[in-house]
Amino acid sequence: MKRIVSIFFSLTTITTYGQQHVPTFEEVISLRSVGGVTISADGNNIAFTVQTTDWSDNRFDSEIWFSKNGEEPFQLTRTSKGSSMSPAFSPDGKWFAFLTDRGNKNQIFAMRLAGGEPVAVTKEEEGITSFAWHPDGSRFIFVKPEKEDKQKKDREKRYGAFEADDKEFTLSHLWSVEFNPKLPDPVERPCYETVDSLKVKAGCIELPQPTRLTEGDFTVINFRISPDGTHVAFTHQPDPLINTFFKADISILELASKKVTAIVTNSSSDMVEAWSPDSKEILYTTNLSDVTSNYYKNSLLFVMNTTTRATRQLAKNLDEDLGGFFDWTPDGIYTTQWNKTKRPMYRIDPNTGSHSVEGNLPDQVFGFSFSGDGKQLTLAGRNGDQLTEIYHTTGSSIKQITSMTAQVTNWKVAQSEVIQWKSKDGTTIEGVLHKPKDYDPTKKYPLLVMIHGGPTGIDTPTPVPGYVYPILQWLDKGCLVLRPNYRGSAGYGEAFRSLNVKNLGVGDMWDVLSGIDYLDKKGMIDKTKMGSMGWSQGGYISAFLTTNTDVFKAISVGAGISNWMTYYVNTDIHPFTRQYLKSTPWDDEAIYKKTSPITTINKAKTPTLVQHGELDRRVPIANAYELVQGLRDKGVPCELIVYKGFGHGITKPKERLAATWHNWQWFNRYIWGEEVTLPVGDSKK
């Protein structure tokens, strides 16, 4: 892709502040957002997903939008009770395919761009996991789960439901199905039995039957079709269990013969990423033989010649975990990776392995897609004062296609800046500081610390921070909000991510408290009015602060770890704990105690709200009960809210609204001395 030298925005971002208001919690949760984006091979058409909030059905809905020739986009799909996703153009640009659940699990549907209704391509009982057009446009390659084991059904009839841990699962394999562009529209029509002894069905449309491509004792994780259409490279592992990714390998399927050949079989995780344009090489990421530190060390990027098996490493000097999406065009290999609080697009030279940053793009680039010749690009990205938008490049310019940021034009949004400070051990820590719009540098403000999850998450400037924390509303009350990128965060390199190995909680606390000290020395905050909150790893750090400090007036622990020993035996990702603490509880009890909030429960004084999903497997709810019971025994004010039916995240709007209100009540009580009653009916705030 040629370097982009200028930007022309078709839609303005936030530049004026006329008649601004503080949004309600519902308005924040109802913000529309763009997701996955793709461009047609000829570069004329763009498709992307938009998520909206359906309050009546209590769900987030994803539908596909379409822009033709860079024109104003319009909604293309409308799925009444489900979502539509994974948009993909046919190679000839005449059709458009996507996944959607219209009452019978996710199936492939296709729509003619010239007009007409979507037609079903598959009707698989198990549903479709992922799919791609074959380069000749005549068929789809897709992944679907195997049929449920009949013996399991028979067993349940006699013995009821039970399951042997880590031994019962459903494998997924590759399949192919023909695409018939002459299918009548719509495909579903009445189907009757004729009145004769043969009972022949009449008036029916028969969908093409899929052909199985792989089988065996493995499950397919992802796949890439070679540009010449002769082979499929796919990642597979022995089973779909979450920890088995350590054993992922790469094989190649020859479509004509269905012959499968293993080509990348390192002892740790391998993942196919892309084919070279000439179909002679594959790009893959790997952890080689590292099964003891790959949670926090960089994955590596390699190219393999599929004939000679010769390999070479690329991007050796790109110090970040090289996972995610890659695209190999005639002009080079492209990817996006975090670089501190920015997420640039990188171009990697497939011959030399060197990398460079593409200029004049939004500060953060997420999903992207190239046209067939690699000369046009569409992407989802944003700057620090925007919501994520869709952009389209044509030669030397870039045009903004969507206007998501217009939703907050009249809001009092967060004013963001990136700050740096030195932690206790001299490590440089960055964070995002949010100020109210009418910030007065002569005043000292209450401080709320919002801590991201991960630990390899990252916080960046944004006009609307939140999740289940009403940041905009607190800013309007008059406070500052600090979101620290503590040690272990993504975007700062492998050495930085390694700093909390055998130092979880302890080093994180240093980073938070030193950030507070930095703001205090600048005369910006009132240290008598401070609170901390976070979800997942951010919840763990908040719990650690609860039992190791008394500098906060209130703390909220969302899905946080309270005891690494009990967490280790209950979580679904045991290797995470072994890697970061470098031991099991049986071999080094001391490190588990040192890093567990429950160890110092006798020091706890801070009023603490605990929020947890009832069915959380990542951080099992036992962590919440253990922390709360310890706090109750010590007479520390605390409250536990359990969100029924949820796992590690609050994924429905009504419960997200409830969690937001619970935080609003808790911090308003202890920071501002206000008692807030949870409203019912149509009350907003």
- Write the pLDDT tens digit of every residue in 85-103: 999 999 999 999 999 998 8
- 475 by Cβ neighbours in 10 Å (0-12 / 13-18 / 19+) ranks as buried
- 412-671 folds as Rossmann fold (3.40.50)
pLDDT at res. 115: 80
Average pLDDT of span 285-302: 94
- pLDDT greater than 90 at residue 114: no
For the chain, what are the domain ranges?
Answer: 412-671
Report whether pLDDT(214) > 90. Answer: yes
pLDDT digits (tens, 9 = 90+) for 128-165: 999 999 999 999 999 999 987 777 788 888 888 888 88
Does residue 568 surpass a pLDDT of 70? yes
Q: Which helix (H) or strand (E) holds 449?
A: strand 445-451
523 token code pair:
């005369």
Q: Is the dihedral of CA 114, 116, 117, 119 positive or negative?
A: negative
pLDDT tens-digit profile of 587-634? 999 999 999 999 999 999 999 999 999 999 999 999 999 999 999 999
Do the Cβ atoms of 487 and 520 come closer than 8 Å? no
Per-residue pLDDT, 205: 62
Mean pLDDT of 528-550: 97
At 78, list the tokens. 């409308």
All residues at 6 or more sequence positions from 561 whose CB lies less than 8 Å from its CB, including other chains: 537, 539, 540, 543, 567, 596, 597, 619, 623
DSSP 602: G
User: CA-to-CA distance for 683 and 685, rounded, in angstroms?
Assistant: 6
Helix (H) or strand (E) holding 667: helix 653-671
Residue 204 pLDDT = 63
Task: Output 16 or 300, whichever has higher pLDDT.
Answer: 300
Name the pLDDT band for 202 (thresholds 50, 70, 90). low
The set of residues, in sequence order, having a beta carbon less than 8 Å from that of 495 and lying 6+ positions away, is none
* Residues 313-317, mean pLDDT to the nearest whole number: 96
Mean pLDDT, the chain, whole residue set = 91
pLDDT given for residue 621 in this prediction: 96
What residues form DSSP beta bridges with 533?
Answer: 450, 556
Structure tokens at 191: 């189907």
Q: Which two tokens stand for residue 668?
A: 């308003």
Mean pLDDT calculated for residue range 667-682: 90
Calculate mean pLDDT across residues 72-86: 91
Which of 4-13, 200-209, 214-223, 436-445 shows the lowest per-residue confidence on average (mean pLDDT)?
4-13
Give me the pLDDT at residue 196, please: 54
| CB-count burial class (<10 Å; 0-12, 13-18, 19+) for 278 | exposed
Percentage of residues in the chain with pLDDT exceeding 90?
A: 82
The whole-number average pLDDT for the span 478-493 is 96
Q: Is the pLDDT of residue 11 over 80?
A: no
By percentage, how much of the chain surpasses pLDDT 70? 93
Q: What are phi and psi of 418, to 5 degrees?
A: -95, 130
pLDDT of 60:
95
The tokens describing 581, both together, are 């603490």
CA dihedral 285, 290, 291, 296 (to 10 degrees): -70
Lowest mean pLDDT among 187-191, 515-519, 603-607: 187-191
> Do residues 417 and 432 touch, judged by C-beta distance below 8 A?
yes
pLDDT tens for 245-274 read 999 999 999 999 999 999 999 999 999 999
Q: Pick from 333, 668, 345: which is nearest to 529 by CA?
A: 668
Q: Tell me how crowded residue 488 is: count the other CB atoms within 10 A of its CB.
A: 25
- How far apart, in whole angstroms, are the C-alpha atoms of residue 517 and residue 511? 10
Q: In this model, does residue 10 exceed pLDDT 70?
A: no
In 3-state terms, what secondary structure has residue 529? strand
Asked if residue 345 has pLDDT above 80, the reply is: yes
Tell me: pLDDT of 285 over 50: yes
**What pLDDT sits at residue 164?**
82
* Reported pTM: 0.91
- For 243-302, the DSSP string reads GGGGG-EEEEEETTTTEEEEEE--SS-EEEEEE-TTSSEEEEEE-TT--SSTTTSPPEEE
